[in-house]
Structure 1
Amino acid sequence: MAAALVLALAPALAACSDDSGGGSEATPPTPTAERTTSAPATAPADRAAAEAEIRQNWQKFFDPKTSTEDKQAVLENGDRMGPVLQAFSGDERGGQVQAKVTKVEFTSATGADVTYTLTLKGATALPDASGSAVEQDGTWKVSAKTLCALVQLSGNASPIPGC
């Protein structure tokens, strides 16, 4: 996501710094406005609401009582991640895992680093785990790469479509 943001902003930033015209005029207002508009994109407009949604959706995703369909709704590309979700849920530990988000740090208006604690049958199994959340179609979701990393941690060495 950060790389995509850099690529998207590169032309605008290059235009802002191109002063080859040699005139004595101040920087034109349009590029300055672009720079000002681009800078706050390090977080969503309503940080508190986004953070609350991330926490809620992570808890929902990692709740063993949540249906596969509901998990797919809060998983990045959930409609295409069925095999990965099955691999995670198919592991007997997957059905006993819960997560509690302890920290959210926004990396862009549509991305966040998430620190969470993973518990297995109520006991801490993975403290201070790192993952990420992405805003997709208006919903903050557990990133596909976070789920893929957990599937790999489970010891499943076979390649899983989607990861």
Structure 2
Amino acid sequence: MVLKRRATAFAAAAVLALTPVVAGCSDDGGSGSDQGTPTVPPVPSAPTGSDRPADPAAAEAEVTRNWTAFFDPKTPAAERVKLLENGESMAPVLGAFAGDKNAQQTSVKVKEVTFTSPTGADVTYDLLVAGNTALPDAKGTSVLQNDTWKVSVKTLCGLVQVSGATVPGC
């Protein structure tokens, strides 16, 4: 069972590592020294008013909705571009996912959203393959960019790394 689960998890992550076209896979805020190293965010303390958006309930609903849509195999690549941080630079990768058999079976279930700032959130989610949990309690981040809560490039690059692929920029 453990081997089957691991194989499923790696297959799901491999969906995100089709080719090295992810050259644009970096976040704008890093120094570059930690790129490609997945990190588990520290357990946040209870958010204060300055640690969350003005309307946390609406922001949480948008994070959940956008993450679900981003990882939904039925969401067109053009829409996914809008749901990924710096999505325009990632468009070639997202377009490649559209025809991948494994990507057509991958989705997420957002379990928890914890705001770390008015423009950032930690997201706990399950990565599903064909409806079965492949990566339970995975950690990612969401960022508010251009008034839209998006899946962070750091999250996408972390999933690419889990697949074992070496991708420039991640």
Is TM (by shorter chain) over 0.5? yes
- Of 39-48 and 110-119, deviating more is 39-48
Residues 1-163 of structure 1: pairs in structure 2 closer than 5 A: 40-86=49-95, 92-157=101-166, 159-160=167-168, 162-163=169-170
CA contact (8 A) 2:108 2:125 kept: yes
TM-score of the two chains, using structure 1 as the length reference: 0.70
**2:81 and 2:120 mapped to 1: Cα distance?**
18
Runs of 4+ deviating beyond 3 Å: 86-92
Higher helix share: 1
Percent identity between matched residues is 56
Larger radius of gyration: 1
Flag structure 1 segments of 5+ consecutive residues without an equivalent.
Answer: 5-38
Please state how far the C-alpha of 1:85 moved relative to its aligned partner: 2.7
Q: Which has the higher contact order (CA 8 A, sep 6+)?
A: 2
Flag structure 2 segments of 5+ consecutive residues without an equivalent.
Answer: 1-26, 31-47
Q: CA RMSD in A?
A: 2.2
TM-score of the two chains, using structure 2 as the length reference: 0.67
**1:82 and 1:156 mapped to 2: Cα distance?**
19
- Of 50-59 and 147-156, deviating more is 147-156
Change over 3 Å in CA distance of 1:155–1:127 after alignment to 2: same
